[in-house]
Amino acid sequence: MNIIYSLDDLSDLQKLMLPKEKDIRFYEQNGWYISDKIIPDNILDDAKKGAEEFYIGKIDFTLKNNKGIVNDNYNSSIAIRNNEFVTLQKKELHALGFYPMISAIAAALARTTEIRLFSDSLINKSPEKPTNKGIIGWHSDKAYWPTCSSDNLITAWVPLQDCTKNMGPLIHINKSHLWKDEKELKPFFSFNNQDLSKFENYLKTQKPNYIKTLMTLKRGQVSFHNCNTIHGSFPNTSNKDRLALAIHLQDKSNTYKKAYKETGELIEIGYDKICKKDTFGNPDYKDVDLFPVIFREGL
């Protein structure tokens, strides 16, 4: 199922669409980047079909273990549905998540020669429901991955349709990846926090020049953000679902590191429960079954 891609797998036109040095510097300065239209319509059409089939229980590949990962069932009263590692379960979502242009761009932005999967999330945000506003609270991905040694993990966010302002697109706070060591920010972080105003009120006093950027993308575009970039989203107030695949990618240097709660208890993230262990008995973030290599230079 898994194929390792390299730059040789890209067409000349695709190579021209890779980030230039000025784009990489923009990413490094701001913590995010938006690509040109890089995903063909047929890949997105198939992915939408695959998502619909996944939601009714049709899969092509079975995970060895799904303990500790998010795998929401449909609930009409909840606006957001999140399912992880779908690219390892459905062939059409695999084709999208492992599309070589995505990993090639991620490698360029992270200045790495290898990209491995870390996880993915198929997120469906329904039009606003009375019992749940469909907000995704401010957070950084790295806050959920304290066991990762690298600060260069990168997330590719791929909407499966045009994503307009009223659909509740991803919002990045510019340059917020540079605040990663500011512990005062952490209490505001929560994917499930439905109140975005408290953090913004804090920023208005502590960082009055902060800038928010909405990822309003055309179908086929992809946004990328650093694992320490703070992001969230507002409700979907349109009349249709906002379906997107978020692909979390490891750079070559990332390994497991022990991390501890304030109580001294060892932190175990969900993926640690299902991946293989290395020779020291620690989670192996190079487990080829769960964290396969997608892209490598110089094959």
Residues near 224 by Cβ (< 8 Å), separated by ≥ 6? 27, 32, 33, 34, 35, 105, 106, 109, 154, 155, 156, 157
Could you tell me the CA-to-CA distances from 291 to 28, 78, 181, 190 in Å, in that order? 25, 30, 27, 25
Handedness of CA 119, 122, 128, 132 (dihedral sign): negative
CA dist 16 and 100 (Å) reads 14
8 Å CB contact between 85 and 120: yes
Average pLDDT over residues 19-29: 98
* Span 256-287, pLDDT tens digits: 999 999 899 999 999 999 999 999 999 999 99
Locate 57 and state its tokens.
């229980």
Q: What pLDDT, in 10s, does the model give residues 179-216?
A: 999 988 888 887 777 778 888 899 999 999 999 999 99
- Reported as a single tens digit per residue, the pLDDT across 57-91 is 999 999 988 888 999 999 888 899 999 999 999 99
What are the residue ranges spanned by the domains of the chain? 7-290
Q: What rounded mean pLDDT belongs to the chain?
A: 94
Residue range 117-160, pLDDT digits in tens: 999 999 999 998 777 788 888 999 999 999 999 999 999 999 99
What pLDDT does residue 37 have?
A: 98
Q: What is the assigned CATH class of domain 7-290?
A: mainly beta
Predicted confidence band of residue 38 (pLDDT cuts 50, 70, 90): very high
Q: What pLDDT, on a 0 to 100 scale, did the predictor assign at position 1? A: 64
Tokens of 149: 């040694």
Strand bridging mode 170-173 / 231-233: antiparallel
Identify the band that residue 299 occupies on the pLDDT scale cut at 50, 70 and 90: low
Q: What is the mean pLDDT of residues 245-264?
A: 96
- Cβ neighbours for 100, distance < 8 A, ≥ 6 positions apart: 5, 9, 10, 14, 294, 295
Cα dihedral value 284, 33, 233, 179, nearest 10 = 70
Q: What are phi and psi of 172, to 5 degrees?
A: -105, 145
Quote the pLDDT of residue 287.
97
Average pLDDT over residues 158-174: 97
pTM: 0.96
Count of CB atoms situated within 10 Å of the CB of 89: 22
